[in-house]
Amino acid sequence: MKQKIQLAIFDLAGTTVKHKREVHNSFIAAFQKENITIDYQTANEAMGKPKPVAIEEILYSMDRSGKELKDRIHENFLFEMVNYYRNTDELEEQDGASHIFEYLQSNGIQVAIDTGFDRETADVLLMKLGFDKIIDHSVTSDEVEHGRPYPDMIYKLQDLANVDNPVVVMKIGDTPVDLLEGHEAGVGLNIGITCGAFTSEELQKYPHTHLIRTLDEIKNLL
């Protein structure tokens, strides 16, 4: 018997926030400030991951290492990202994001955000879009021991929502690590959305229960 979903967990950038390459551009700029050049594809592979982890992986692949360099690049990224979100007039929620949040809540489903961003960056986004007044819970990658693809953020949100069984949890994200996170947590619905950083063909390779193009399609999966 199909169990009723009790908790819906959404990613931010690319999933509930329109993808305009701002995260990619900030990530590339963070490396450029240290005279290191990375391309768009390298930045794309970092999407959804905790940024310190992604930075460390890229530096390792270049035979560049060192905590000081990693920390400087991460600080550069945080500055670029927070500055962009605070000052841009182009920030938009993904089509139907607020509506689907309210629809789920009206059907007794708690709505949560998890993100590869740190808390400061996430809060700027949540407040600027007004999501902070709608959602029930949020967790950022710097608030758990391990970010994606590990399931720590989902587990923490289950605790906050008082939801014990992951089978009644729905996870929605636009990156491979979102899908891996949901799979590792054992969620009942593990949904990839293709309006963000990755195409349907790219996400198809990763564990999922559904792939959708719009947030409104979630209604048909409940």
Extract long-range pairs of 102-109: CB within 8 Å, 24+ residues apart. 102/134, 103/219, 104/8, 104/218, 105/134, 105/136, 107/222, 108/4, 108/6, 109/5, 109/6, 109/7, 109/8, 109/170, 109/222
CB atoms within 10 A of CB 115: 29
Model confidence pLDDT, tens digit, residues 110-148: 999 999 999 999 999 999 999 999 999 999 999 999 999
User: Which parts of the chain register pLDDT below 70?
Assistant: 1-2
The pLDDT score that the predictor gives to residue 187 is 98
pTM of the model: 0.91
- Domains of the chain in sequence order: 7-19+92-221 (3.40.50.1000), 22-87 (1.10.150)
151, 172 in Cβ contact below 8 A? no
